[in-house]
Structure 1
Amino acid sequence: MRRADSVVSFADEIAMIAMYQRALRTLLSLLLCVAGSFALTAAQAAPVAATAPPAPLSLAKVQALISSASRGRATAQSIFAGPGGLTGAVVSYKDAPNAPPSVIWVNDDASALLVGKLIGPKGEDLDKQAAQKVGLLLAPDKALAAAALPATNAIMVGSKGPVLTVFIDPNCIFCHMLYQQLEPLVAKGALRARYVLVAVVKRSSFAKAAAILSAKNPAAALQQDQAAFDPKTEEGGIKPDSAPSKAVTDRIGANNALMSKAGGDGTPMLLFCSKDGSVQQLEGMPRDVNTLLAELASRPRTRLRRLKRSTVQTLPRDMLRQRGACRLSAGKSAPARSG
């Protein structure tokens, strides 16, 4: 009996030790959790030392980096604050004195350059927005105001509805596809289209644009070009004008320059008044024309006072009676004539 009692007692002691160990581990875990909670609370309550933002870069510092990186071929004309702590620089190039300045980016300590497209969170072209902000490119509202002037000899088709301004090349296949999609909408009065003729796609584009603008009825000439368009060769169907007048030549050249000044990289380039009151600019074939149509505003919200005085002074008197920049797109463009 005594041996059995000893065995039982020893087993009980082992079980009690295991129980105490489990309890000790549980208590230790609780203590660690409580200690961690107090530490976290204290850390949250403790004042965080503010990190001073980096000092704005000077033009001299930016120029030193650009000059070094370009081996003296580029010059920073001016700088401005950019997104995400970047500094924008307006740069010209000694190798291309006639080329317009461009925008490049410098990091916060002027140790590296960013050259190329800077894209925003919604896919917006931040390079182009910056160029518009500093005056290298026309903002969309000013580009629309310029496109609406009689000097462009734009071709207005349609009698009612909001206006879509399209920079169109006679040999541009995407312009042709857009023209085909807009034609039935124009016919039923859903919109009006203002076509600004440019020549940027092929060598024959200039002579074909001249033929359209020199025609007695430019709208009919444009329709002829599009009706006979050859998708295989990507050629408009109108017969080129081999000897256009200087006036027509100058008009096409000025339209090309306007599209370039607006930042247009190709055709079609679209300008229109949006329902939110802003002027929007799109490049290329819209994914869905009906969706685009739903975005067009029939009444303006942007007022003429937002435009520079120099811009307003160049507008025809009948346009100045309109309420806003978006309303400019509702005015009638002057008919295109030769000479």
Structure 2
Amino acid sequence: MNAPLIRGLAPLALWLSLSAHAAPPQAWPAPIQALEAQGYEVLSSFPGPSGLTGYAALYLGRPQAVYLTPDGRQAIVGNVTDARGDKWKPELLDRQFGAALWRQLESSHWIADGKDGAPRVVYTFTDPNCPYCRQLWRDARPWVQAGKVQIRHILVGLLAEDSPAKAAALLAAPDPAAALARHEAGDSVRPLAKPPAAVGAKLAVNQRLMERFGVFATPASFYRDAQGRLQKIQGAPAAAALQQLLGPR
């Protein structure tokens, strides 16, 4: 799709403290494990208000707060509000959860387009056969060539039968950045007939991450706004949205 969809990842009634860490799935209390069985992916735990224990989770790709009662017997899904109806620490929660999701993007298998140390980093899910991914690559040239942005392409294979083999060829290339640049400039990469197992595993990780983020089409781009909140643009953005994604030209 080429019409941009811009949205922040919804305000979150949860807090990930800087010291919070994910525990092994078997360590979660029984009510939390029951939610996992229903499709929740629990990322970490944190101290909540009034003796509650909070859990940062994803459900259908969307951030979700879960709270465990002090007796450990009940799990409550949703926001915590005070006597005025205000959500508990919403701005801090947005930033902290966005940081946790950003770390997941950082740990994916991507190809960099642009110089290291660029002041702005964008992650985008890219299919080698996606025409709108190619359009985004071309539209971003002024920012990338000026050293203002590094776009990190998370390769997936969705659109065509040979998409996985082409994505594998790019990841396995001796110089993946150069191979991606040639491909997006019009010199289409040849599918890799027998991708190494390690490359196939990288593509599988990227595919799972895409599903975790609730993304079902490419390109889907993620960036952090001036307040540090994680934002998403779906598709190849028009001029105004492109500047939101890449920053001032």
TM norm structure 2? 0.59
Q: In structure 1, what is the equivalent of residue 89 of structure 2? A: none
Q: Deviations over 1:162-183 (max 9, x none)?
A: 1111111101111110011112
Percent identity for Structure 1 against Structure 2: 28
Which structure shows the bigger proportion of residues in strand conformation?
A: 2
Q: SS in structure 1 opposite 2:151? A: strand
Contact 1:140 1:271 in 2 (8 A): no
Shift in alpha-carbon separation, 1:294–1:224, aligned structure 2, 3 A: closer
Which structure shows the bigger proportion of residues in helix conformation?
A: 1
Q: SS in structure 1 opposite 2:218? A: coil
Q: Provide the rounded CA distance (Å) in 1 between the counterparts of 2:194 and 2:223.
A: 34
Q: In structure 2, what is the equivalent of residue 250 of structure 1? A: 201
Matching residue within 153, 166, 176 for 2:109: 153
Contact 1:140 1:262 in 2 (8 A): no
Q: Provide the rounded CA distance (Å) in 1 between the counterparts of 2:102 and 2:127.
A: 18
Matched, 1:183 2:141: yes
Alignment of 1:275-290 (within 5 A): 275-288=226-239, 289-290=242-243
Matching residue within 137, 144, 153 for 1:195: 153
Contact 2:127 2:157 in 1 (8 A): yes
Matching residue within 131, 153, 157 for 1:173: 131
Per-residue deviation, 1:134? 4.5
Q: In structure 2, what is the equivalent of residue 272 of structure 1? A: 223
Q: Deviations over 1:179-238 (max 9, x none)?
A: 111122101112111111111111111000000001000001111211226xxxxxxx11
Shift in alpha-carbon separation, 1:223–1:256, aligned structure 2, 3 A: same
Q: Provide the rounded CA distance (Å) in 1 between the counterparts of 2:216 and 2:182.
A: 26
Contact 2:223 2:245 in 1 (8 A): no
Per-residue deviation, 1:90? 10
Q: In structure 2, what is the equivalent of residue 132 of structure 1? A: 63
Contact 1:140 1:281 in 2 (8 A): no
Please tell me the residue identity of whatever aligns with 2:64: K
Shift in alpha-carbon separation, 1:198–1:140, aligned structure 2, 3 A: farther
Q: Deviations over 1:72-126 (max 9, x none)?
A: xxxxxx9xxxxxxxxxx9995xxxxxxx57xxxxxxxxxxxxxxxxxxxxxxxxx
Q: In structure 2, what is the equivalent of residue 162 of structure 1? A: 120
Q: SS in structure 1 opposite 2:101? A: helix
Shift in alpha-carbon separation, 1:216–1:287, aligned structure 2, 3 A: same
Shift in alpha-carbon separation, 1:143–1:266, aligned structure 2, 3 A: farther
Aligned residues: 168
Q: Which consecutive residues of structure 1, in runs of 5 or more, have no partner in the other structure?
A: 1-77, 79-88, 93-99, 102-126, 230-236, 297-339
Per-residue deviation, 1:155? 1.3
Q: In structure 1, what is the equivalent of residue 178 of structure 2? A: 220
Please tell me the residue identity of whatever aligns with 2:190: K
Contact 1:275 1:295 in 2 (8 A): no
TM norm structure 1? 0.44
Contact 1:158 1:189 in 2 (8 A): yes
CA RMSD of aligned residues (A): 3.1
Alignment of 1:1-339 (within 5 A): 100=39, 131-134=62-65, 140-149=98-107, 152-159=108-115, 160-228=118-186, 237-288=188-239, 289-294=242-247
Compare relative contact order (CA 8 Å, sep 6+) and give the higher one, 1 or 2: 2
